[in-house]
Amino acid sequence: MTEHAHVLIIGTGFSGLGAAYRLRQRGVTDVLLLERADDVGGTWRDNTYPGAACDVPSLLYSFSFAQNSDWSRSFSSQPEILEYLRRFARDNDIYPRCRFGHEMLESRWDPEELRWHVRTARGEFTGDILILGAGPLSEPSIPEIPGLESFEGVMFHSARWNHEHDLTGKNVAVIGTGSSAVQFVPKIQPKTAKLHVFQRTAHWTMPRWDRKVSRIERWLYGRLPAVQRLARYAVYWGRESFALGFTVQPKILGVARKVSLRNLRRQVEDPVLREKLTPNYAFGCKRVVVTSDWYPTLTKPNVELVTDGIAEIRPSSIVTADGTERPVDTLIFGTGFHATDFPIGRRIFNGEGASLTGRWQDDPGAYRGTTIAGFPNLFMLIGPNTGLGHTSMVFIIESQLAYVLDAVDHLRRTDVTAVEPLREPQIRFNKRIQRRMRRTVWSRGGCSSWYLDEQGRNIALWPSFSFTLRMATRKFDPDSYRALVRPLAVR
């Protein structure tokens, strides 16, 4: 049996839950959320590695319409964020609208009926509007390394942590030194017999000024929401100054660079190790990792930072380019995600049968980061060029939601069934982004990163302040869209 809803939402992380809530606020209740897992939470349900926590301050890491006065720390831990999202879904009756175990396998736009047909792992759905809230960092990336398939030990990715596997006394290899690895390596180090950390590129770091949120602060935030809002604004604008550095004034980042190098000097005495940990590209070019225990952990006697490239993996060892073989019984990938190839795009087809990924081959990008020419009534949250490294993605999701809600209202107010952006405004919008991008540290900083696609284009980040993206998504602009009207015969 095919189930129909006016709006189908893929995913139940911050994006999907926020969309369901905001739609209901506008009186749109005929909504279903299709979720591949068995609970809500998105990235905060999937990333359960030891030490998983947010590196954006807690004050910014909740919906503005459901602020949390109860964060226990200034940088919240994964269990607390997950519990916040579950509570949000419970309190707002979103659970009954969720279909769990329904991984979206294929979404096809029907150009006659003017609706989406969605096939999941467990059923079929139709929807007038499709909102993608699957997240850009949800598909773990495991590099192709010669001999990987021959490995006989236990291996897993940081986003699929194997909690059954006890690391006590094990020879562990960690590949990757990004934001995830710097969080879990210090937690697992005391248990392991030997910990080999394979670093391809040194990352810039910033200290994690984490502290307990005092009872007085919590009391104040709970009783006087205006105080919390003020504190939120202060943190928000403080972080916006990083955007200035990343996008036009890299000199501003000089201070942060000095802090990073000073920490390295203070925390790592060994000059050889220090050298290995010193980045050779501009501060901010790759996402800066936020940590206060990464460098101290790497100085522990059972830890080795390996900077020689991996040549081969054997059944119970890793061999590096210099020929050294290290016995390993557990292999952990902290190697990030398929961020710029949007794997979900291979499952989405327009009325002509073209996949989103195919369309993006030559010209990736969306209109205002949210809608895509040729794909009517498809709204993508955290779409191309909407990412930010310096502040909370919840802010971006809320900005995009304002645009989506305005578009949904437009469809209700008029006799238009579907809208798709015209190609020209989309091209102009993306050209502007790429022009601005050339001035940023992500283009000029002399590094490679997950922000760049295979052709070296940055299709992940927004090249400006977050408030400018909010302005760009404030109002739906029908003039930039083609309007489609469902014929009476198929209504």
Residue ranges that bind ligand N01, judged by CB under 6 A: 54-56, 137, 143, 158, 175-181, 198, 200-201, 287, 334-337, 450
* Closer to ligand N01 by Cβ: residue 386 or 417: 386
- Concatenating the DSSP letter of every residue in 177-224 gives -STTHHHHHHHHTTT-SEEEEE-SS---EE-----BPPHHHHHHHHH-
b/e string for 73-89 if b means 16 or more Cβ within 10 A? Answer: ebbbbbebbbbbbbebb
Are residues 348 and 107 in contact, defined by beta-carbon separation less than 8 angstroms? Answer: yes
Return d(Cα 320, Cα 306) in angstroms, integer.
9
Q: How far is the CB of 476 from ligand N01 (least distance, A)?
A: 28
Return d(Cα 445, Cα 173) in angstroms, integer.
29
* Closer to ligand N01 by Cβ: residue 12 or 179: 179
Q: How far is the CB of 336 from ligand N01 (least distance, A)?
A: 2
* Closer to ligand N01 by Cβ: residue 182 or 433: 182
* Closer to ligand N01 by Cβ: residue 158 or 371: 158
Q: How far is CA 336 from CA 87, 138, 268, in A?
A: 28, 9, 26
Q: How far is the CB of 27 from ligand N01 (least distance, A)?
A: 33
Q: How far is the CB of 192 from ligand N01 (least distance, A)?
A: 19
SS3 category, 13: coil
* CB hemisphere CA count around 101 (13 angstroms): 2
The residues with which 197 forms a beta bridge, in sequence order, are 174, 305
* Closer to ligand N01 by Cβ: residue 137 or 416: 137
Element housing 256 (H / E) = helix 253-267
Q: How far is the CB of 339 from ligand N01 (least distance, A)?
A: 7
Place of tokens 């190790």: 273
* Closer to ligand N01 by Cβ: residue 77 or 473: 77
* Closer to ligand N01 by Cβ: residue 287 or 359: 287
Pick the closest to residue 172 from 320, 311, 314, 304 (CA basis).
Answer: 304
Say which amino acid occupies 305. L
Q: How far is the CB of 145 from ligand N01 (least distance, A)?
A: 6
Q: How far is the CB of 262 from ligand N01 (least distance, A)?
A: 22
* Closer to ligand N01 by Cβ: residue 377 or 392: 392
- Return all residues near 246 (Cβ < 8 A) that are at least 6 apart: 253, 284, 389, 390, 440, 441, 442
